[in-house]
Amino acid sequence: MAGHNHGIIHSDPAIIKWANMTTNRHKYFRWTRRTAWISFAYVILVPAMLGTAGYMADGKWDMRGKRRGDMISEF
């Protein structure tokens, strides 16, 4: 069965160091201009752009019940 024989394969020290870093990342995080901009971009800017694009395209195309040769644009 799987799950036995722990420790047979040697652990890579770089992978262990990386795993510890990602586990303890919140302890060493510091707000800088770069991290603030990245956070702003992913929390506010990207959703606002996607929402605006969705709002502008809402109702422009109707794919339901169309046949070959019919126009999909409603405007």
Please check whether residue 46 lies inside any domain of the structure.
yes
61 phi and psi angles, rounded to 5 deg: -125, 140
- Two tokens at 60? 């422009």
Q: Does residue 48 lie in a domain region?
A: yes
Q: Is residue 7 part of a domain?
A: no
Tell me the pTM. 0.58
Q: Which sign does the torsion angle of CA 44, 46, 49, 52 carry?
A: negative
Task: Give me the domain span that covers residue 48.
Answer: 32-57
Q: Please give the residue that has the higher pLDDT: either 46 or 1.
A: 46
pLDDT above 70 (res 3): no
Domain presence at residue 41: yes
Q: Give how many domains the chain has, as a whole number.
A: 1
Confidence tier at 71 by pLDDT (50, 70, 90): confident
